[in-house]
A = this chain, B = another copy of it.
């Protein structure tokens, strides 16, 4: 079976880890491709940062910091301290030393003329991830946030420096109209037996992926079923600050509202089916009324076992359609 997962960072990483765990027993021959958001990427102090690609890689490699919830385990910040002492960079953006190793490896490859997808292939080859990671695009389509007072800033500045607390009115994926999917992205959608939308931020993780010209039409034309997993449980985000993003684009922070935002594939949207949490079971009729199959299952990825069960449930609803 070929499974393609559209994914953001930490939530996507945990979902992919659960999927890999589930498949190890259920279908060891399955091939999983993760199409990863690059809207959070940026140049910082001359190096190329790709937070979502790295979060997924570290998590699948078992190198992520489970306690902190992001970055590398056993991290240190000696380089960052130097940068601050020189008055360089964004003092509020943490660059771990091990993480900088990844950034510099990537940057070196990009400077040598490799595409981001080629660099990602080389960088991920260090570990046996069991999942192929493809950036959604090789283009630099960074997400910027327009705030209520008319300022525009890089998503990372809004998210990390301002903790998503500045009211936002729009998210702009700069240059995305001229971007093309990275090699392998459309093929991964075309050839998939199942396409999954990870429980990632709908606005700034899944949003930028499907906004790349060609991706939405590939999803519409895919023979695979497209199943999404809600990032919202009981009217709240599981992690991160996706609620601030949803509010900015006028979508309620609710599992059914996100499904309606994605839309039914039958009506030109993205979804054949949508998984919500058991606590949100009352929302099932509203989702089904929008033309989207739905099930309520345990959605919290508390540990590898619950993450694997969630992946199993996502595949099960696809098979049942």
Contacts and interface: CB of A to CB of B under 8 A. Distances in A.
Nearest to A89: B108
Given A78-B98, A85-B126, 18 more contacts: A45-B105, A45-B108, A46-B46, A46-B104, A46-B108, A76-B78, A78-B78, A79-B97, A79-B98, A79-B104, A80-B101, A82-B101, A83-B101, A87-B126, A88-B104, A89-B104, A89-B108, A100-B104
A259 to B, nearest CB: 40
A12 to B, nearest CB: 22
A104 to B, nearest CB: 5
30 contacts: A43-B111, A45-B104, A45-B105, A46-B47, A46-B104, A47-B107, A76-B78, A78-B78, A78-B97, A78-B98, A78-B101, A79-B79, A79-B97, A79-B100, A79-B101, A80-B101, A82-B100, A82-B101, A82-B104, A83-B101, A83-B105, A83-B108, A85-B101, A86-B102, A86-B123, A86-B126, A87-B122, A88-B105, A89-B105, A89-B108
A46 B101 contact: no
A110 interface: yes
A24 interface: no
Interface string A86-98: 1111000000011
A44 B89 CA distance: 20
A86 B109 CA distance: 11
A81 interface: yes
A81 B101 contact: yes
A92 to B, nearest CB: 16
Given A78-B98, A79-B79, A47 B86 contact: no
B108 A88 contact: yes
A98 B85 CA distance: 11
Contacts of A100: 79, 82, 100, 104
Interface of A: 43-47, 76, 78-83, 85-89, 97-98, 100-102, 104-105, 107-111, 122-123, 126
A110 B46 contact: yes
Given A46-B111, A76-B78, A83 B97 contact: no
Contacts of A123: 86
Contacts of A87: 122, 126
A79 B76 CA distance: 10
Interface hub of A82, A101, A123, A126 (most chain B Cβ within 10 A): A101
Contacts of A45: 104-105, 107-108
Contacts of A105: 45, 82-83, 86, 88-89
B102 A82 contact: yes
A86 B101 contact: yes
Contacts of A80: 101
Contacts of A104: 45-47, 79, 82-83, 88-89, 100
Nearest to A101: B82
A171 to B, nearest CB: 25
A2 to B, nearest CB: 28
